[in-house]
Chains A and B, each alone.
Chain A
Amino acid sequence: MRSPINTHHTAKALPAHGRRIVLAGNPNVGKSVFFNALTGLYVDVSNYPGTTIEISRAPYGDDTLMDTPGVYGVSSFNDEERIARDIILEADLVINVVSSLSLERDLFLTQQLLDMGKRVVVALNQIDEARANGLAIDAERLSEHLGVPVIPTIATKGEGIDRIRGAVLKAFEATPPRLDPDLERLVDRLEAGTAAERLMLLEGDETIAERLGLPPGTEREALYALRRTRVNAMVAEIVQESNQGATFSTKLGRMMLHPVAGLAAAAAILAALYYFVGDLIAQQLVAITEETIMLGHYEPFVRGLVERVFAEGSHMHTILVGEFGLLTMTVTYILGLLLPLAIGFYFFLAVLEDSGYLPRLAVLVDRGLGKMGLNGRAVIPLIIGFGCVTMATITTRLLGTQRERTIATAILGLTIPCSAQVGVILGMLATVGGWQAWAIYGGTMFAVLVAVGTILDKVVPGKSSALLIDLPPMRFPNWKNVFKKTGVKSWQFLTEASPLFMLGALIVTLLQISGGLEVIQRALAPATVSLLHLPPQAATAFIMGLIRRDFGAAGLTSLPLSPDQVIVSLVVITLFVPCIATVTVLFKERGWREALTLWLGSWVIAFAVGGALAAVLM
């Protein structure tokens, strides 16, 4: 059988013939904390092919433990569910993590796993939070109902982890649980595939139907209704509620959705982001990493080394340590300027993700995004876009319709600056005039975003889907999770951006040596000098921006610009064409016609808006 995961680069750390133990559960129930607690140092995090969804795998004794994306059930409503379904279908045992606070929701998946005939161990997690909220849960009775072990756990404190290990060992020795007799009769009528695949077929899963070569079943709603009734009856019996009132986190979560207090909180979070990335990192930290370390110590050192071999003025000297040198400018920009900014942004994003705030933000902005033909969920790719537009473009898959994907992709490609670029922008704006500069830049970008969204909503045919999301409880972020996520994302940034930067720097240096740079600068002068009122050298930044926008933005930092010129050039470089990596993904995800329209449209919109702004300001 074809393995759904591509692990050729790390497979040696994982046992080849062991059993597959899979962690499954609803979103935000603490699965990743379990994963960390159950495994050691050898963790392989790889992107599921064609998605941005990361799957962690690690050895577990002689077996392999795999994490899955959080899902509410095994089916195929979106990418996450399709991936979870495929991993669960091949599981020899499932550790099903359920939240004690939302058993009615979580046990639906549990019951479905049992209906698939899987060996299951249930971790009744967050039992402390349930107690704090006045819930008493009879784990033994639940275990009798389900016919599988149910272990109360507090994963964040490591409580119950050893009992889970023991239960897993025992569950492998025991016979797998019997299916419900009625369901067994239904499933046994079919003759293809495993019991689990037959259930998926009955529930109308089209991918499984195709794999088995049979028409998808029509039993889904009836089976779901039966499962729901069964779970509700179970929960009614095992959960006792004594009303102790809401805890702080419940109250905090509700406050975030208050029409006034919620908006104030969102504004405060934005301000915190500005202070953290735009001031603390872009100003104070970068002053040390870029100026002192890279420009002060690293560059003179590497220049000295190169000059022992290549004389100053030689082509190799220019390529390696010249104005756009591979070893000087490129390394300084990547390590001294962009990496600290990327780390800072990914850290902030990980905190927001881990705290359960993002779905609440989706609720707050649903109405506004509705006017642009999107629903509140689109705020998630838009925010991820501030980290990396390429990743965000793939993430638009979580949106319900092609129409929404087209609109969100266009907004991302045009108006959303990515992490390192945001840092450069915040830094440059801060040096030229504080909040006024910020207001002009931010106002312009916002106006373009709204205009593009509103026009596309009128032009793109079809109907967008409505918001329908479950809101996880707000909680204090788990620092181990946050650091792990930040580390993985920053490493990806480094490995993906560096080769492109090298390529960009090399092209620009070759143009400089051959005299092509001056030709281009002169050719673009009507646009840069006459239209935008910028110095001719700004064209170099735009050429660098063709490769990556953050590279282009970084190129602007070295130009002598007046405050108005800074604002205009930043608006143009933000609206400018997306980076090479994004364009590649654009072509793959949206087709050549949409991708090309967006790419050419970016040129027009960037220079038109920049020109208009220059006319007003200068």
Chain B
Amino acid sequence: MPPSLSITLDQARKGDRLLIQAIPDATVRVQVVRFGLSIGSMVTCQSVMPGGPVVLRRGFQEIAIGRDLARTIQVERQAS
């Protein structure tokens, strides 16, 4: 695996360290910024439901994102 790789969020795997690069939907952007996530935030992939939502963790906070939405979010997978 190259040191860092740009993927969409639905391709993330459990344990990945991810840097959020782009959230195209403006309403979603506004909602997640209140949760504490914004472009440039570093998060961990906490778990992935098979065919279902991706759960992200940041500190003690967990945020679940549906698969269709995850497909639109661009993240950079960091080398562990």
A positions within 8 Å CB-CB of B: 72-73, 77, 101-102, 104-105, 108-109, 133, 220-221, 224-225, 228, 232, 241, 250, 253-254, 257-259, 359, 362-364, 366-367, 370, 375-376, 466-471, 473
Contact = CB atoms under 8 A, between A and B. Distances in A.
A80 to B, nearest CB: 13
Contacts of B35: 72, 105, 470
Given A467-B64, A467-B65, A473-B60, 10 more contacts: A102-B36, A224-B33, A224-B34, A250-B60, A258-B47, A366-B52, A367-B49, A367-B50, A375-B66, A471-B62
B5 interface: no
16 contacts: A104-B36, A105-B34, A220-B30, A232-B36, A241-B59, A254-B47, A363-B53, A363-B64, A364-B52, A367-B49, A367-B50, A367-B67, A467-B65, A468-B63, A470-B61, A470-B62
Contact of B49 (A102, A104, A254, A366): A366
Contacts of B58: 104
Nearest to B29: A221
B29 to A, nearest CB: 7
B51 A367 contact: yes
The 10 closest A-B pairs by CB, nearest first: A467-B66, A466-B69, A367-B52, A466-B66, A104-B36, A471-B62, A72-B34, A105-B36, A101-B60, A363-B64
B46 A257 contact: yes
B47 A228 contact: no
Interface in B21-42: 26, 28-36, 38
B54 to A, nearest CB: 10
A101 B69 CA distance: 26
A573 B29 CA distance: 45
Q: Indicate the size class of the contact surface on chain B.
A: 20 to 34
A254 B15 CA distance: 13
Main secondary structure of the interface of B (DSSP, over half): mixed
A259 B61 contact: no
A104 B55 CA distance: 18
Contact of B63 (A253, A254, A258, A471): A471
A102 B64 contact: no
A225 B62 contact: no
Contact of A468 (B46, B59, B66): B66
B40 to A, nearest CB: 10
A366 B48 CA distance: 12
B64 A225 contact: no
Contacts of B30: 220-221, 224
Contacts of A364: 49, 52
Contacts of A104: 36, 58-59, 61
B30 to A, nearest CB: 6
